[in-house]
Structure 1
Amino acid sequence: MWLSRSRFELREEVPGAPHDVRTFYADLANMKLVHPLVAAVDCLADRQDARGRCREYRVRDRIPLGPFGMGVTYRATVLIAPDGVVHTEARQFPNVRLSGTVTFVPLGAGTTVTEAVDIEAPRPLLGFTIAQAEKAHAAMLAAIRHHFEGSLG
C-alpha cells in the first residue's frame, strides 16, 4: 500500500546495427562508459537457457544529492530473450525496483532503441526516483548514440 508505481518511455536513434547496439546495451560493463550514475559493475552470473541469455550483476551507483553523492549498491538482471527484446530489472534499497523492456528496431542503416521503464518505490521516494532514472536513462541512450557515432569515423 505504501508503494507507488510509475512508467516512462524513451527512444533514441543509434547509427549501428540492431545486433551490435543490443550487444553493447545488454553488457552492463559498458554502462560505466555511458550511464551517468554507474560507478562500478561486476558480473556475478552468465547463463543461457530457454528464456534466453541471462546475466546477473552487482552495480554501484553514485546518486547526486545536491553537492553530495550517495553510493548505492544493488543487483541487476539483464535477459536477452530469443526474440531480441532485452528485459532488465534492478532492485535497490529500500524497496525500489526498476523493470525495463528494451527493443532494437532496424531503421535504415541504424537502430531505434526504445526503452520502457516501470518503477516501483515507496511513495516518498517515487518522485525523486523517477526524476533521477529518467534523466540518467536519457543521458545513457544519448551517450550510446555518441559511442556508435564515434565508431563510424
Structure 2
Amino acid sequence: MRRETEPRAAEIGYWQPWLLSRAERTLTEEVPAAAELVRDFYVDLDSIKAVHPLVVSVRTLSRHQTADGYEQTYCVVDRIPLGALNLRVSYWARLHVPAHGDVTTEARQFPRVRLSGRVSFDPIAAGTRITERLRISAPRPLAAMTVRKAVDAHRAMLAGIRDHFRPGA
C-alpha cells in the first residue's frame, strides 16, 4: 500500500527510461551570406516560419536578457501531416542566443516529445555553414515518426534559409 506522503509517478513527471527513445542527428547547410545575417535570420522565429515546412504560427511568450545575450520563449503551432490528416500541435520553444557563439534551442511538446539543439554559424569562403546538432526524444511508439518528421522539417528549413539568401531569390 502506498503512503500518502509518497508522490505518484504521474505527479512528479516520472517516466521509465525504457518508455522513451532518443536519437541524435547532425544537419549542415551552406548559405551564401555572412554568418551574422544568417544567425539573425535563424534566431527570429517569425522569419523561420516562412521557411519551416511545419510551422503555422509563432507567438512570443517572453524575452529576457541574460549575462551573455538573451533568451526568448515562443508558442509555436505546427501542422503535422499524418496521411490524409493534418494534425495541429502547439508547443513551446526556447532559444538561448548569446552575443557570440552557438545558439541553443529546446522545444517541448505533448506527449513527452523533446527536441534540443546546438546551432553553429561558421564563416566559409562561400558564406556560412550552419550546423544543427539535434537531440530528439519521444515515447517509443512515436519515436521513428517523430525523428523522421523533425529531421525532414529541419533539412527543409535549412534549405529554405539557403534559398532565402541565394542571389536573385
TM-score by length of 2: 0.86
> Unaligned 5+ residue runs, structure 1?
none
Pairing partner for 2:61 from 39, 44, 65: 44
**Alignment deviations for residues 29-87 of structure 1 (CA, whole Å, 9 cap, x no partner):** 11220000000000111221114211100000000000110000000001112332110
- Equivalent-residue separation in structure 2 for 1:144 and 1:47 (angstroms): 26
Task: Give runs of aligned pairs for residues 1-153 of structure 1, distance below 5 A.
Answer: 1=17, 2-150=19-167
**Superposition RMSD in Å:** 1.2
For residue 99 of structure 2, give the secondary structure of its aligned residue in structure 1: coil
- Equivalent-residue separation in structure 2 for 1:123 and 1:109 (angstroms): 40
User: Which aligned runs of 4 or more in structure 1 are off by greater than 3 angstroms?
Assistant: none
Q: Taking every aligned residue pair, what percent have the same amino acid on both sides?
A: 51
- Equivalent-residue separation in structure 2 for 1:35 and 1:15 (angstroms): 19
**Alignment deviations for residues 78-116 of structure 1 (CA, whole Å, 9 cap, x no partner):** 111233211000000000000010000000140000001
- Equivalent-residue separation in structure 2 for 1:124 and 1:51 (angstroms): 39
Confirm or deny: 8 A CA contact 2:30 2:126 kept in the other structure: no
Give 1 or 2 for the bigger CA radius of gyration: 2
> Unaligned 5+ residue runs, structure 2?
1-16
For residue 100 of structure 2, give the secondary structure of its aligned residue in structure 1: coil
